[in-house]
């Protein structure tokens, strides 16, 4: 399977715990995006990488959130001291970034539930 993969698919945690999600993009894609989606809403942009450089972060991304893409391949999104409001679907997408309309392809998402 050469699509975007995300792990884990589901995560249940207690408030105050730290969680980390992983995204493996399509292999030739140099751009990687993170989004958050809550029930009844479309995905909201969190951050994106061009290779290993984090080029833009949303104001939604509080200081409890950090994302890395150390070698320009897979990426991790960490949430520290989780809160119930962090419960959502976290989506990763990748693109080549070489075409001006830059089509993004999404992974299956990680569903986070904070108790």
Partner 1 sequence: TQLLEQSPQFLSIQEGENLTVYCNSSSVFSSLQWYRQEPGEGPVLLVTVVTGGEVKKLKRLTFQFGDARKDSSLHITAAQPGDTGLYLCAGYMEYGNKLVFGAGTILRVKS
Residues in touch with partner 1 (CB under 8 A) = 4, 6, 33, 40-45, 48, 55-56, 91, 93, 100-109, 111
Nearer to partner 1, 16 or 55 (CB): 55
Q: For strand 110-114 and strand 10-13, is the pairing parallel, antiparallel, or unpaired?
A: parallel
Smallest separation, CB 109 to partner 1 (Å)? 5
CB 112 within 8 A of CB 19: yes
Nearer to partner 1, 46 or 114 (CB): 46
Smallest separation, CB 71 to partner 1 (Å)? 22
Smallest separation, CB 103 to partner 1 (Å)? 5
* DSSP of 65-111: EEEE-TTSS-EEEEESS--GGG-EEEEEEEE-S-STT---EE---EE
Nearer to partner 1, 18 or 102 (CB): 102
């Amino acid at each position: 399977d050469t699509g975007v993969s995300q792990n884990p698919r589901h995560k249940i945690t207690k408030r105050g715990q730290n969680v980390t999600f992983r995204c493996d993009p399509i292999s030739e894609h140099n751009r990687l995006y993170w989004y958050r989606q809550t029930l009844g809403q479309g995905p909201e942009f969190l951050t994106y990488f061009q290779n290993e450089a984090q080029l833009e972060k949303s104001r939604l991304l509080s200081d409890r959130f950090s994302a890395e893409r150390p070698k320009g391949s897979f990426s991790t999104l960490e949430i520290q001291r989780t809160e119930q409001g962090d419960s959502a679907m976290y989506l990763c997408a990748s693109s080549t970034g070489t075409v001006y309309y830059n089509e993004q392809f999404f992974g299956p998402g990680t569903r986070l539930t904070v108790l």
